[in-house]
Structure 1
Amino acid sequence: MSSQPRTLETRSLPVSKPGNPWKEICAASIGNALEFYDLLIYGYFAIVIGKLFFPAADETTSLLLSVGTFGISFVMRPLGAIVLGSYADRAGRKASLTVSIFVMMIGTAMIAFAPTYAQIGIASPLIVIVARMLQGFSTGGEFGAATAFMVEHADAKRRGFFASWQLSTQGLATVLAAGVSALLSFTLTENQLDDWGWRLAFGVGLLIGPVGLYIRSQIDETPEFKKIAAAKPEQSPLKVVLVRDRINLLLGIGVVSGATAFNYVHKLYMPTYALKQLHIPATSSFLSAMVTGLVLMISAPLFGALSDRYGRFRVLSMAMLTIACTSYPLFLLLTTWPTVGTLMLVQGLVGILIAACLGPIPAMLSDIFPTSTRGTGLALSYNFSVTLFGGFAPLIVTWMIAFTESKLAPSFYVMATALISIAAVLALGRRMARRGPA
């Protein structure tokens, strides 16, 4: 195993050493945080949105429709990955990043100002669905372009560290989204929150969106892309990835599966789970999500740096094995002692585990695709996996709880996907060891 990380990390390295990348990393990180804020805030207000836009005879059906709509946006992520990922490989990382944040702002505005079902009937949920599809399309292109942008501005020996800021800024987005949600749920009455308070949460993302758009318009293209652009960019990056790199693509999807399932179940779905299953107040539920985001924000770069030193495979395989062994005990702890203190403790541990498994992944996926198709390969492998295993995770575990009548059901889903991820990590490691340096 010790030779695998070295083999993987020597593929497609830049010929010249980039300068100080912090300006570009910060610019990409800020825009990335804003995009994931808009994505998360919908999940945190799933119960309110379900009542207002998807009314049903019982609360469970309404919630299922709401989280199902959350999942619908993920159907668009592969399309966004194809279009914006390919665009990043043809027109540049900067161009793709600018388009993605603009599309996200449109989707957020549609939700923020959408009339409710009581006001315009069936057109109301249709507006929300279209808006979520636009947000999913945008996010589908974000990961590939942002990660490629960070990696290609970094020194080859520190790619794990700099690429992990992709996940660190997702932690920042979690802190911001959960913080806004906690503040609104604490200061407003339930009627005020249902009537207009939830719109303020989307308004925050809408107000700061132009800032991210401006910042991204001021950044420089990556040195690696400039080199291939000076020669001739790949005209059909999607075809190349699907034909030449299809095995790496499939294994990349498997690598991400367990990490994204754990992320979406324990981070995004947890406030809803705590409120509906553990009967913990909404403010405390959102504060627990803030704890997860804060720990992730701090820890992700640490695990990215560890992957630079000890290898992506070693760090990631140990993290996924830990997740497979601890998900059930964590849910058991929550259901046995359903208190705010227990929730905070569990979510703090969850933040560390998310950082440990997701921190090394951006650089790992970057390493297995060359510069000419990196945007497409990154976007496809990550977003297909997130769509299959993460996007519908809230819907799946909500159904599993109702079907099994067990509050521990979400852990079964996490454990199953963790095993898939472990198998893919091992297979990819052996594949890269056999191939040797490119």
Structure 2
Amino acid sequence: MATSNTVMGRHKMEATQAPVRPRKQLAAAMIGNTLEYYDFIVYAFLASVLARKFFASGDEVAGLLASFATFGVGFLARPLGGVIIGRIADTLGRKLALQITIFGMALGTVGIGCLPTYQDIGLAAPILLVSLRLIQGLAAGGEWGSSTSLIVESAPEGKRGIFGAFGQAAIAASNLLSSLAVAGVTAMFTTQEMDGWAWRLPFLFGGVLLVVGVWMRRSLHETPKFEEAQAAGEKAEKPTRKAALAAMGRAFGFTIIWTVSYYVMLSYLPTFMMKHVGLTQLQALASNSIALVVLVAMTPISGLLSDRWGRKPLLLACCVVFAVFAYPLFSLLLAHPSFGMAVAIQIFFNIFIAGFSGAAPAALCEMFPTKSRTTLLSIGYSLATAIFGGFAPFIATGLIQQTGSPISPSYYLVAAALISGFVILWLKETAHKALD
């Protein structure tokens, strides 16, 4: 009887696994990622407008700091979202978790596009703005870990790097989509129209998320690794508390340069270009968009190389580049401010952000066993993103205000690179090992 039950259980598991098509899983997760992170990032590109619309202050810098602080608030909710939604992903499935996140992000984004301003309702306006950013943060905190786990676990053996990289390229594409949307609206409307009402349009475009994202994610299947862990029940590998904390600590330190470089170079830099390099808003967004095309194109290549050469060589090379070149290239940009120089420097840095982004998703997933992967991965990643990435624009703006030097954001990049480089140096190479 026991043997019969075992056979039946095996057939049940095989039947569940049979429909899983890695490329279809990847496509559904990528489209969801693109749409979700579009909604989260578009806020950063409109920070200067939102500062005027939602924060009452005669001081331009104070208003911008308040706007970037609200951007960061969304990241504070990410670790909590990682715990709650990550737990759902590990116990009830990756598919259900990803369906939850799609609704949360849509609500937050379309809500911001519909909000009355400070002039209309006073203090209630920034309170509502912060509340909607918190909802976005909860959804985003569960999104990355759940989608990355699903993509990497669905990947064929030997291709975890490139599959994870395509998922990350989709997130980079969301930055590009955000940049293009804001640049397009900026080009179409006058400064007065943009400040009056047109700023709402990029947020409202995010309403597409609810239709396309939900439709795409209906086709997702649970991963073979998740099904195996569920079938094994209590026998499935589960790390001790000490091992779990150590792995989360490694994921936390690993992520610091990734999130700092991402949000300084991609979210904050358009504002930096306008205030300190003398570019117009349209030029700054165009420069960002050109560099993002490079990031989207190069990330899968990096993932492929990480499958062949290993994760560590690429990850360490990226840390070295940011530690060595951040200060001199910021100095060069400030000494020779021009659109061409801005594009060249952004492309250079984005090549190495792509190098890290291609290897990182698989490397992080490989740190954790399937039974608790999404929860532990989400916590380690989201904490680093909340502390160091979400407040990166705020910290960069504050450093410039305190030091009086526009080159000071480069110090933040250098420090982050040194910390993550030290952590990665001591990690084991996992590219050619089976996923636990």
TM-score, normalising length: structure 1: 0.91
Note if contact 1:167-1:296 (Cα within 8 Å) is conserved in structure 2: no
What displacement does 1:231 show? 3.4
What displacement does 1:266 show? 0.8
Query: Counterpart in 2 of 1:202?
Result: 203
**Residues 336 and 242 of structure 1, relative CA distance in 2, 3 Å threshold:** farther
Matches within 5 A, 1:31-180: 31-180=32-181
Whole-angstrom distance in 1 between the partners of 2:228 and 2:111: 39
**Residues 400 and 343 of structure 1, relative CA distance in 2, 3 Å threshold:** same
What displacement does 1:322 show? 1.2
Matches within 5 A, 1:207-286: 207-232=208-233, 242-286=241-285
Note if contact 1:241-1:376 (Cα within 8 Å) is conserved in structure 2: no
Whole-angstrom distance in 2 between the partners of 1:302 and 1:19: 25
Query: Counterpart in 2 of 1:11?
Result: none
Whole-angstrom distance in 2 between the partners of 1:195 and 1:56: 18
Q: Match of 1:336, as an amino acid? A: A
What displacement does 1:208 show? 3.6
Q: Once the two structures are superposed, what CA deviation does each residue of 1:339-385 show, in whole Å capped at 9, x if it has no partner?
A: 11111111111221111112211101110101111111221121111
Note if contact 2:180-2:289 (Cα within 8 Å) is conserved in structure 1: yes
Q: Match of 1:50, as an amino acid? A: A
What displacement does 1:329 show? 1.9
Note if contact 2:20-2:222 (Cα within 8 Å) is conserved in structure 1: no
Whole-angstrom distance in 2 between the partners of 1:83 and 1:216: 20
Whole-angstrom distance in 1 between the partners of 2:424 and 2:242: 21
Note if contact 2:43-2:71 (Cα within 8 Å) is conserved in structure 1: yes
Whole-angstrom distance in 1 between the partners of 2:374 and 2:280: 42
Q: Once the two structures are superposed, what CA deviation does each residue of 1:55-89 show, in whole Å capped at 9, x if it has no partner?
A: 21210000000000000111100000100111100
Note if contact 1:251-1:427 (Cα within 8 Å) is conserved in structure 2: no
Q: Aligned pair 1:422/2:421, yes or no?
A: yes
Note if contact 2:110-2:206 (Cα within 8 Å) is conserved in structure 1: no
Q: Once the two structures are superposed, what CA deviation does each residue of 1:25-65 show, in whole Å capped at 9, x if it has no partner?
A: 01000000111101110000000000000121210000000
What displacement does 1:232 show? 2.4
What displacement does 1:209 show? 3.1
Residue 232 of structure 1 aligns to a residue in which SS? helix
Whole-angstrom distance in 2 between the partners of 1:136 and 1:122: 22
Note if contact 1:108-1:135 (Cα within 8 Å) is conserved in structure 2: yes
Q: Match of 1:43, as an amino acid? A: A
**Residues 233 and 323 of structure 1, relative CA distance in 2, 3 Å threshold:** farther
Residue 61 of structure 2 aligns to a residue in which SS? helix
Q: Once the two structures are superposed, what CA deviation does each residue of 1:1-37 show, in whole Å capped at 9, x if it has no partner?
A: xxxxxxxxxxxxxxx9997511110100000011110
Q: Match of 2:226, as an amino acid? A: F
Whole-angstrom distance in 2 between the partners of 1:120 and 1:402: 30
Q: Match of 2:293, as an amino acid? A: L
**Residues 136 and 437 of structure 1, relative CA distance in 2, 3 Å threshold:** closer
Whole-angstrom distance in 1 between the partners of 2:106 and 2:281: 27
Q: Match of 1:354, as an amino acid? A: I
Note if contact 1:73-1:136 (Cα within 8 Å) is conserved in structure 2: yes
Q: Aligned pair 1:182/2:159, yes or no?
A: no
Query: Counterpart in 2 of 1:314?
Result: 313
Residue 408 of structure 1 aligns to a residue in which SS? coil
Query: Counterpart in 1 of 2:393?
Result: 394
Q: Structure 1: state its 5+ residue gaps.
A: 1-15
Query: Counterpart in 2 of 1:3?
Result: none
Whole-angstrom distance in 2 between the partners of 1:370 and 1:236: 7
Q: Match of 1:296, as an amino acid? A: L
Note if contact 2:366-2:435 (Cα within 8 Å) is conserved in structure 1: no
Note if contact 1:110-1:127 (Cα within 8 Å) is conserved in structure 2: no
Note if contact 2:255-2:420 (Cα within 8 Å) is conserved in structure 1: yes
Whole-angstrom distance in 2 between the partners of 1:437 and 1:136: 29
**Residues 113 and 236 of structure 1, relative CA distance in 2, 3 Å threshold:** farther
**Residues 334 and 220 of structure 1, relative CA distance in 2, 3 Å threshold:** same
Q: Match of 2:341, as an amino acid? A: T
Q: Aligned pair 1:343/2:338, yes or no?
A: no
Whole-angstrom distance in 2 between the partners of 1:241 and 1:252: 16
Whole-angstrom distance in 2 between the partners of 1:384 and 1:18: 35
Q: Match of 2:271, as an amino acid? A: T
Q: Which has the higher contact order (CA 8 A, sep 6+)?
A: 1
Of all paired residues, the percent bearing the same amino acid is: 36
Residue 428 of structure 2 aligns to a residue in which SS? helix
Residue 277 of structure 2 aligns to a residue in which SS? coil
Note if contact 1:234-1:372 (Cα within 8 Å) is conserved in structure 2: no
Query: Counterpart in 1 of 2:9?
Result: none
**Residues 138 and 303 of structure 1, relative CA distance in 2, 3 Å threshold:** same
Note if contact 2:20-2:221 (Cα within 8 Å) is conserved in structure 1: no
Residue 156 of structure 1 aligns to a residue in which SS? coil
**Residues 114 and 242 of structure 1, relative CA distance in 2, 3 Å threshold:** farther
Q: Once the two structures are superposed, what CA deviation does each residue of 1:216-240 show, in whole Å capped at 9, x if it has no partner?
A: 1222111111222233279998xx5
Query: Counterpart in 2 of 1:8?
Result: none
**RMSD value, Cα:** 2.2
**Residues 242 and 390 of structure 1, relative CA distance in 2, 3 Å threshold:** farther
TM-score, normalising length: structure 2: 0.92
Q: Structure 2: state its 5+ residue gaps.
A: 1-16
Which structure has the larger Rg?
A: 2
Aligned residues: 419
Note if contact 2:229-2:236 (Cα within 8 Å) is conserved in structure 1: no
Note if contact 1:17-1:156 (Cα within 8 Å) is conserved in structure 2: no
